[in-house]
Structure 1
Amino acid sequence: MPSRHLPKRRLSLTNVGGAPVLSGEASLAATLARALDVEPGAGLERWTHGFHTYAARMHPDTAGRLVRALSRAGAAVLDPFCGSGTVVVEALVHGARAVGRDLNPVAIRLARMRAAVVPEARRRAVRERAWRIAGIAAGRVRQGHLPPAPLPPGADQFDARTFAELAWLRAAIAADRDPFVREALALVLSSILVKVSCRASDTDSRYQPKCRPPGAATAIFGHKVDELCRRWKALREALPSPLYPADLGIDDARRLRTVPDASIDLVVTSPPYANVYDYAEQHALRAAWLGEDAGALRANEVGARRGFRDARRGLERWEHDGAAWVAAVARVLRPSGLACVLGGDGATPLGPVRFDECLGRWAVAAGLRVEASAAQRRPIFDEETRRAFRGRDRREHLIAVGRGEM
């Protein structure tokens, strides 16, 4: 049989990265290893996980396995770098008290929308308004009407017709009288911005000219709303009773000022990796279209690639910020609490940044200790990382830290 007819074989990360290297308490290390043994791309079809791209989010199956194995119903589960809410959603479905914090205002709005419990009447209203708004926007552009001022930023990142459709969508959404409908549709619009733009991808800002047919952007918008409503329905059907509403808010993980001392049973999180992404740059267009000020994120983002332009200063800040957020986690953990941290090795011109070594130092300084860990080899794609590691393995680590009072 020709190879093009063979079904695609999905490989788990254990197969891709090899058997994990375990250390520490045996049963806990085995739990961490099971959480790492996931299929790339799997889980995004479940509930609201697949709504809106978000770079380097934790795999839903990793988050779910950790939450189910290490917390009971009603326990307080925190993700201090919650991003778009993967851990939050898994904690809700488990029946835990989900707590999510992030410095990125776009992330918190996304997490709230993913964690929303939306009844059928409200889902129907969102769908109906969305398609009416899509029809209005497509019609205005077809008739040659210019979008109302003030225009959203970033016109040079779209072909002219697509930008006009998006601008009309944005204006019509803003005019809707229902706050929940406005928020839901604004975030759906955010979710398609990069897809219909001339940007290569969320993580690649290169310009790639695209010419979409008339009405393409408005149609994609409408279908994305239909998808979100289906996801809301699936989430609502999966939620237990009693349900603890998600506690979500903007906060700096290095401080966690909005989280009380000794209030958290389990932390499950994946902080930004050193010198890999610039979330502020990735979300700049979305933040502007959503009317958000990302200044605090630009100034205080942990591990941002732009902060390593001077590698030595970048490493100094990485150490300072890491020690601070681990100390904040230690403060909010109950005495018997546990923190499971997923982090990958980074690279700089000065050499590799070994995440397990970093977290070990930060934990000791915060009065915690490494209870167990599981690590897997990860591929190296770019020359900068290849030079830093010089033939040595680059790894991703899932590490459990606590006070040893479990």
Structure 2
Amino acid sequence: MALARARGLDARALARTRTRTRNVARVIGGGPRGGSNDADGRAWRDDVDDETLAYVRKASTASSFEERAFGDDVIGEKLLRAMRVQWTHGFASTPSGFPRCTHGFGEILAGMQPAACDLILRDVLSGSTSVLDPFAGGGTTLVCAATLGMRAVGTDVSPLACFVSAHRCWRPDETTIDEMVHRASAARDLAKSAEEQSVESDAEEAGDGGVPRAWRRIRDALRASNGGVSGGRVDESLWFCMSVALQRTQKSQSKARPRKGKGKRSGGSRGGEDNADIFYKVVEEYADRLRQFRAMCSTCDSQAPDAEIHNIDVRRFKLADEAKVDAVLTSCPYPAVYDYLSFARKVRAGSGAVVSTSSPRSQGPTSSYVNTVVPGDRNWPKEWMEGEIGSRRALRSDPYAFRDAWQREQEEWLEVVAHSLKPRGRACIMVGDGANIDTRASMVSAAEKFGLKTLAGATMKLTTTTESGNVYNQARTEHLILFEKH
């Protein structure tokens, strides 16, 4: 009430504002960084009021966003077009008509809209044959680059991000895909025929991080089928699909209200047999997505090499002179918005608990995720705890030092970007404001120190003005900035 009076609003007006915000968040996925969970973006229309629907229709057009370009007019307009796509569709799904490939398959915290990423690569960074994403996340830039025939390099400090992006960027041949589906079918049949184990040993519970009981039969069936013709790569893809299947069932259960007198079931709606079918359907979906991704890549005049993915803090990453890239495209961490490593640990201990550590030790970018045993005492290895830039945890730990630390971190990773680019190479970076930091000014200042000249940029806002004249941000201000190395 005191807050409402201070802003010139009565309690009812404030409640209406909050309701509108919640409705809009449900419709457009929490603002421009969200996205509809349905394939065609229309499922929400049945459960929102007409006023909210009219508002969202208006907000989905470019004129509803407060947009501004700066720098070169032609480039600025191209950046604005990409930002309109980003804000209209969010990051979690692909627009109708845009190839899904492997985009959005697997749990990740945030990312760039695939259609916006594709537009930037084609329209803003056209002519580039290689690209680096220093904050690869779920691999959106890497997948889009591959479909355009570009060599792609990605780094990320999060083991979860590297695990997901590696499986999104995988391009197996048809024989390998068939083997994956066949082994999934065999594991499903074995899980259905097995007797459910009522008791698990304490050691197994601790080692698996607590796999839901309803998923243990299909997990054990997969363990029994490890070691096919293609070895570890197919093994990992099946564990990846199982973690996706478990994640989806857990999310659907969290939304469903338990029946009166009965609590939520653990990890599945009707027990192990249904979960085996859910797992198999996820594998079939993944196989279809991989086929589409491979087909998109095959349309290029020269097929791109497999993406290079490195599980490393970008500030410790260095490309050899002969491996430098023409372009950089990334959506970097926003100040004090997320805790990516905390999220990675949560997923590994949750839906990722089904990933077996009993197989031969994994190599490459997925090794930290696959080889790590979920600790029972929260004493995670240091690669799961250190190296994150601009985390929300850092702001909570020392609010007074956060701004200076943020600026120092920007300079450190932008120095790597400058070193990784060829002369006249370009870097397109998406960043949002947070913690009362103007990230556009912060980034431009840091980039100039390493010979990165600002060519153009675009800024997007979405605000609302109350009857009393007060202005509120309805979405985080975001910038898309293009630099060139001199």
Is the pair's TM-score, using the shorter chain for normalization, greater than 0.5?
A: yes
Q: Is the CA contact 1:112–1:248 (under 8 Å) kept in the aligned structure 2? A: yes
Change (3 A) 1:361 1:195: same
Ranges in structure 1 where 5+ consecutive residues have no aligned partner = 202-207, 381-388
Distance 1:11 1:298 in 2: 43
Identify the match of residue 125 of structure 1 among 176, 179, 196.
Answer: 179
2:119 match: secondary structure: helix
User: 1:191 matched to which residue of 2?
Assistant: 244
Q: Shift of the alpha carbon at 1:138?
A: 3.9
Identify the match of residue 407 of structure 2 among 292, 295, 319.
Answer: 319
Identify the match of residue 310 of structure 2 among 242, 249, 253.
Answer: 249
User: 2:146 matched to which residue of 1?
Assistant: 92
Change (3 A) 1:93 1:129: same
Distance 1:256 1:71 in 2: 23
Identify the match of residue 389 of structure 2 among 302, 318, 322.
Answer: 302
Distance 2:483 2:301 in 1: 31
Q: Who wins on radius of gyration, i.e. which is larger?
A: 2
1:336 match: secondary structure: strand
2:190 match: secondary structure: helix
User: 2:425 matched to which residue of 1?
Assistant: 337
Distance 2:320 2:311 in 1: 11
Amino acid at match of 2:441: E
Distance 1:197 1:179 in 2: 27
Distance 1:353 1:13 in 2: 27
Q: Is the CA contact 1:117–1:235 (under 8 Å) kept in the aligned structure 2? A: yes
Q: Shift of the alpha carbon at 1:60?
A: 0.1
Change (3 A) 1:22 1:71: closer
User: 1:386 matched to which residue of 2?
Assistant: none
Q: Shift of the alpha carbon at 1:198?
A: 7.5
User: 1:205 matched to which residue of 2?
Assistant: none
Q: Is 1:103 matched with 2:103?
A: no
User: 1:232 matched to which residue of 2?
Assistant: 290
User: 1:33 matched to which residue of 2?
Assistant: 80
Change (3 A) 1:89 1:259: farther
Distance 2:382 2:222 in 1: 23
Identify the match of residue 209 of structure 2 among 154, 175, 186.
Answer: 154
Distance 1:167 1:5 in 2: 37
Identify the match of residue 42 of structure 1 among 94, 116, 122.
Answer: 94
Q: Shift of the alpha carbon at 1:45?
A: 5.8
Q: Shift of the alpha carbon at 1:53?
A: 2.5
Give CA-to-partner distance per residue, 1:115-143, whole Å, 9 cap, x none: 22222221111011012112323433546
User: 1:164 matched to which residue of 2?
Assistant: 216
Identify the match of residue 291 of structure 1 among 371, 376, 386.
Answer: 371
What TM-score do the two structures reach when normalised by structure 1?
0.83
Distance 1:32 1:49 in 2: 22
Distance 2:383 2:60 in 1: 35
1:20 match: secondary structure: strand
Report the more deviating stretch, 217-226 or 289-298: 289-298
Identify the match of residue 113 of structure 1 among 153, 159, 167.
Answer: 167
What TM-score do the two structures reach when normalised by structure 2?
0.70
Change (3 A) 1:281 1:162: farther
Q: Is the CA contact 1:74–1:96 (under 8 Å) kept in the aligned structure 2? A: yes
2:106 match: secondary structure: coil
Q: Is the CA contact 1:261–1:333 (under 8 Å) kept in the aligned structure 2? A: no
Q: Shift of the alpha carbon at 1:271?
A: 1.0
Amino acid at match of 2:270: P
Q: How does 1:385-400 map to 2 (within 5 A)?
A: 391=472, 394-400=476-482
Q: Is the CA contact 2:187–2:222 (under 8 Å) kept in the aligned structure 1? A: no
Amino acid at match of 1:249: H
User: 2:437 matched to which residue of 1?
Assistant: 353
Ranges in structure 2 where 5+ consecutive residues have no aligned partner = 1-44, 255-262, 356-369, 373-379, 465-469
Percent identical across equivalent pairs?
27
Change (3 A) 1:300 1:247: same
Identify the match of residue 461 of structure 2 among 377, 394, 400.
Answer: 377
Change (3 A) 1:139 1:241: farther
RMSD value over aligned CA atoms?
3.3
Distance 1:89 1:314 in 2: 34
Distance 1:199 1:173 in 2: 28
User: 1:364 matched to which residue of 2?
Assistant: 448
User: 1:402 matched to which residue of 2?
Assistant: 484
Change (3 A) 1:135 1:119: same
Distance 1:5 1:209 in 2: 24
